[in-house]
Amino acid sequence: MPKIELPHNHNENVDIIHEYTGQTENFQILSDIFKQLSDSNRLRIFWLLCHCEECVINISAITQMSSPAVSHHLKQLRASDLIVSRRDGKEVYYKVADTKQANLLHSVIENLVEISCPHNK
């Protein structure tokens, strides 16, 4: 990336900062994740799946949402690689993905809303 000349250079690290802000693909990935989590129902489903593996019917019962609504949210979470699924016969089970991003988001949710993992009690 070419060196940038700012009209007012207030920061000696401007080249490093410019280098990182120029990496738009990283910020797009983060933006896409935040878009997925901007819906409170998806957040509830994501948090639930951080603690257990469940099928759509059970997630629907726990969240008191319709199965089609839950399926819609699961599809979006899975497309963002925040959750994974596995099939067992006719049933599909969902759980949080074992990724750095998913683990960090789990921690952020619990710290921001001050809820704790059932496993930590």
pLDDT above 90 covers what percent of the chain? 50
- The model's pLDDT over 29-45, given as tens digits with 9 standing for 90+, comes to 778 878 877 899 999 99
Q: Is residue 104 part of a domain?
A: yes
Q: Three-class SS of residue 55?
A: strand
The parent domain of residue 19 ranges over 14-114
Q: Is residue 120 part of a domain?
A: no
Residue that wins the pLDDT comparison between 72 and 112: 72
State the pLDDT at residue 97. 97
Q: Is residue 77 part of a domain?
A: yes
State the pLDDT at residue 76. 93
What b-and-e string marks burial along 59-93, b requiring 16 or more CB atoms within 10 Å of the CB? bbeeeebeeeebeebbebbeebebbbbeeeeeeeb
- What is the β-pairing status of strands 83-88 and 91-96? antiparallel
Query: What distance in Å separates the CA atoms of residue 1 and residue 15, rounded to the nearest whole number?
Result: 9
- Residue 55: Cβ within 10 Å count: 17
In the chain, how many domains are there? 1
Q: Is residue 6 part of a domain?
A: no
Q: Is residue 121 part of a domain?
A: no
Q: Is residue 110 part of a domain?
A: yes
Q: Is residue 4 part of a domain?
A: no
pTM: 0.75
* Contact predicate 106/96, CB 8 Å: yes
Query: What distance in Å separates the CA atoms of residue 89 and residue 14, rounded to the nearest whole number?
Result: 56
Instruction: Please give the backbone phi and psi of residue 23, each rounded to the nearest 5 degrees, phi first.
Output: -85, 70
CATH code of the domain containing 83: 1.10.10.10
State the pLDDT at residue 8. 62
Q: Is residue 9 part of a domain?
A: no
What b-and-e string marks burial along 29-40, b requiring 16 or more CB atoms within 10 Å of the CB? eeeebeebbeee
- The model's pLDDT over 6-64, given as tens digits with 9 standing for 90+, comes to 666 666 666 666 676 777 787 787 788 788 778 999 999 999 999 999 999 999 999 99
